[in-house]
């Protein structure tokens, strides 16, 4: 899954792709580099980020989603707003990637249920403005699994079959340093939920803390590729990355090693 941030303030590439034409060109490049799915988002979820009005979010993302879908590319919409999800699916998005797991907007699950789109439910304990306020766990893997199971049950109750549900452990969301590593180590337990698993570690703070807080993007991308390979081995269905070639290369090497 290639990341297309149509935002002015994302933590890694904020502002670079805010212009729709530039975002579309970037998405095409990611596809050419090997991304199977293009994840378009118009609201930053970096730590401390403030919410964006759905109207503004839609102005940013809908031209990009529509253009990419019209070219036959597989697009997901990264949003916590039901109205944006509806509009993006109408524009051609095939997956709604909600990092809040449907908790930020009570209409989200119904909105997806009314469509034929899939939904990715992220593990979430509150908005980005208070990202780490609830980062307290006794058994982080057990609690993440239980809370995701609740979101899957809610999605099914809304009418979304499990075959259309993806779960995301929310790496970096309401989790500090070692809690992220513990969650990644527990990925096989999350795969036992019977849903596809999406993992996003790309360029996140816990990687920089591990390899050195002054780590540049190239070093973070290499660390991302390593975690992506390990996630794939643990049963992940997809990995969400900024830098597609490095992760594709790492996955190719891992496949050759295993073969």
Return the structure tokens found at 113.
């249920």
Among residues 86, 204, 205, 233, which one is catalytic? 204
* Annotation marks residue 175 as catalytic: no
Q: ∠ CA(14), CA(16), CA(21), 5° rounding?
A: 130
98-107, long-range: CB within 8 Å, 24+ apart, which pairs? 98/122, 99/45, 99/124, 99/168, 99/170, 99/173, 100/124, 101/147, 101/148, 101/151, 102/151, 102/154, 102/155, 103/151, 104/80, 105/80, 105/81, 107/82, 107/83
The separation between CA 12 and the C-alpha centre of its own chain, rounded to angstroms, equals 14
CA gap 163, 112 in Å, rounded: 13
CA gap 4, 160 in Å, rounded: 26
Using alpha carbons, select from 12, 67, 74 the residue that is nearest to residue 38: 74
Using alpha carbons, select from 119, 38, 48, 118 the residue that is nearest to residue 76: 38
Catalytic machinery residues:
204, 240
């Amino acid at each position: 899954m290639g990341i297309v941030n149509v935002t002015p303030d994302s933590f890694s590439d904020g502002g670079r792709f805010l212009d729709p034409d530039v975002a579309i060109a970037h998405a095409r490049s990611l596809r050419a580099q090997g991304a199977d799915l293009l994840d378009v988002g118009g609201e930053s979820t970096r730590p401390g980020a403030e919410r964006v009005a759905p109207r503004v979010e839609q102005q940013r993302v809908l031209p990009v989603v529509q253009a990419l879908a019209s070219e036959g590319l597989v697009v997901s919409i990264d949003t916590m707003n039901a109205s944006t999800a509806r509009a993006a699916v109408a524009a051609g998005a095939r997956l709604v990637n909600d990092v809040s797991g449907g908790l930020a907007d009570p209409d989200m699950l119904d909105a997806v249920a009314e469509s034929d789109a899939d939904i990715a439910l992220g593990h979430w304990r509150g908005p980005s403005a208070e990202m780490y306020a609830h980062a307290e766990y006794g058994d982080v893997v057990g609690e993440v699994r239980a809370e995701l199971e609740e979101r899957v049950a809610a999605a099914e109750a809304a009418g979304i079959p499990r075959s259309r549900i993806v779960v995301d452990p929310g790496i970096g969301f309401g989790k500090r340093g070692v809690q992220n590593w513990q969650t990644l180590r527990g990925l096989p337990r999350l795969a036992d939920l019977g849903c596809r698993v999406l993992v996003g570690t790309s360029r996140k703070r816990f990687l920089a803390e591990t390899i050195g807080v002054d780590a540049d993007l190239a070093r973070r991308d290499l660390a991302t590729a390593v975690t992506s390979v390990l996630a794939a081995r643990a049963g992940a269905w997809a990995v969400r990355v900024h830098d597609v070639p490095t992760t594709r290369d790492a996955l190719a090497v891992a496949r050759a090693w295993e073969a």
